[in-house]
Amino acid sequence: MRAAWYEQQGPAETVLKVGEMPAPTAGPGEVRIRLAASGVNPADVKLRSGKSNYGHAFDRVIPNSDGAGIVDQAGPGVQPSWVGKRVWLVNGQRLGRAFGTAAEYIALPSKYVTELPDFVSFAEGATLGIPAMTAYHGVFADGPVAGKTVLVTGGAGAVGFYAAALAAWGGARVFATVSGPEKAARAEAAGAAATINYRTEAVAERIRDLTGGRGVDRVVSVDFGGDMPWLPEVVALNGAVSAYASDTDRTPAFPFHLFARRNITVRPFILNSLPPAVLDATRWGVDAWLRARPDAPRPVAGTFPLAEISSAHLAVEAGGKFGTIVVEPQG
Ligand SMILES: NC(=O)c1ccc[n+]([C@@H]2O[C@H](COP(=O)([O-])OP(=O)(O)OC[C@H]3O[C@@H](n4cnc5c(N)ncnc54)[C@H](OP(=O)(O)O)[C@@H]3O)[C@@H](O)[C@H]2O)c1
């Protein structure tokens, strides 16, 4: 099969190679998928570049963890009816697995694979694993949000957009921080009732105005350290903050007394470290949302053929994208 891989971490143009490799076969409990789309997430780029904390544990890595395609083999112990199904997947190149989705085929446990509704394109399906599942856990980890207020920071990001959409679907009034008018329009398209430019406006003041001084019930944070200067001020009594990244300051000072006084739950998390049952519930939660909201946008920031995978990785590194960059392994 044609695949992309790297054997050492480093710059995309230097370490990413495209060539032929033996195709995998579905082992016990596995399905094999003929991949039509491979989602590139910031963590895939950090793992390849060496900017990740996880190091490099394999002789060869096929990058990218998310993807979508059609099942063409069911291994021992897997229902043969899987064959021919359109699917999306998570954990392709995570949890001890070296071979991800930047290849014509992947074999992986069927528990990471979910049927893709016909109204979702393969490229859109490749945006669901990390972005939508992270958003789902970020929004719902502390329980239902119906009737609550949720602040999504970075509401136009790949994860943030889905977080705003999922919180709105869950019945919350959603606010989002953004860096400008174009991103504000995108967060509003996802479901945000109001946006706040975190670069030019006083976030705590705006949230006080929007909530009648009460604060929000939940915050889903893309930048825990960056949000910290105002974060404890905007959360209501007994509220919760879930944080999936902290890129501007990975070791922010934590004002314990401000969080304790309001009894604020703080939940930093990494999707692939969630307990298997939670990961599974998250996957089914995304599936339920997809089917309930078939017309919801599922943003694809751009598509690249496999031969141009280094350009796809560079596009993620450059930032400023809207949605998920997708590589097409059959292209
Ligand atoms: N914990 C997990 O399991 C998990 C899962 C997925 C992603 N992540 C991490 O989450 C981060 C974002 O991933 P992504 O795929 O959503 O990336 P993305 O599509 O590039 O989106 C990031 C968004 O955050 C905005 N942003 C950056 N700093 C901000 C701040 N201080 N306040 C508000 N908005 C801010 C950016 O826009 P502006 O800069 O224009 O504001 C951009 O819209 C990455 O570090 C990624 O590795 C973690």
pTM as predicted:
0.98
Q: What percent of the chain has pLDDT over 90?
A: 97
Q: 226: Cβ below 6 Å to ligand 1?
A: yes
Q: 158: Cβ below 6 Å to ligand 1?
A: yes
User: pLDDT tens digit string along 68-95?
Assistant: 999 999 999 999 999 999 999 999 999 8
Q: What is the pLDDT of residue 157?
A: 98
Taking the centre of ligand 1 as the mean of its atom positions, its distance from the CA of residue 192, in whole angstroms, is: 17
Closest by Cα among 267, 223, 277, 273 to 249: 223
Return the residue whose CA atom lies nearest to atom 25 of ligand 1: 154
CATH fold match for the domains 2-127+299-328 and 131-272 = yes
Summarize the confidence of residues 19-40 as an average pLDDT: 98
Summarize the confidence of residues 290-302 as an average pLDDT: 98
Question: Residues 12, 15, 19, 20: is their CA dihedral positive or negative?
Answer: negative
Q: Are strands 265-268 and 300-305 parallel, antiparallel or unpaired?
A: unpaired
Q: What is the pLDDT of residue 54?
A: 80
Residue boundaries of the structural domains of the chain: 2-127+299-328, 131-272
Taking the centre of ligand 1 as the mean of its atom positions, its distance from the CA of residue 37, in whole angstroms, is: 22
CB-CB contact of 142 with 267 (8 Å): yes
Instruction: Tell me the three state secondary structure of residue 254.
Output: coil
41 has a pLDDT exceeding 90: yes
Summarize the confidence of residues 141-158 as an average pLDDT: 98
Summarize the confidence of residues 15-36 as an average pLDDT: 98
Enter the tokens of residue 310. 């280094």
Does domain 131-272 sit in CATH 3.40.50.11540?
Answer: no
Looking at domain 2-127+299-328, what is its CATH homologous superfamily?
A: Medium-chain alcohol dehydrogenases, catalytic domain (3.90.180.10)
From 52-66, 107-121, 199-213, 296-310, the region with the lowest mean pLDDT:
52-66
Q: 44: Cβ below 6 Å to ligand 1?
A: no
Q: 64: Cβ below 6 Å to ligand 1?
A: no
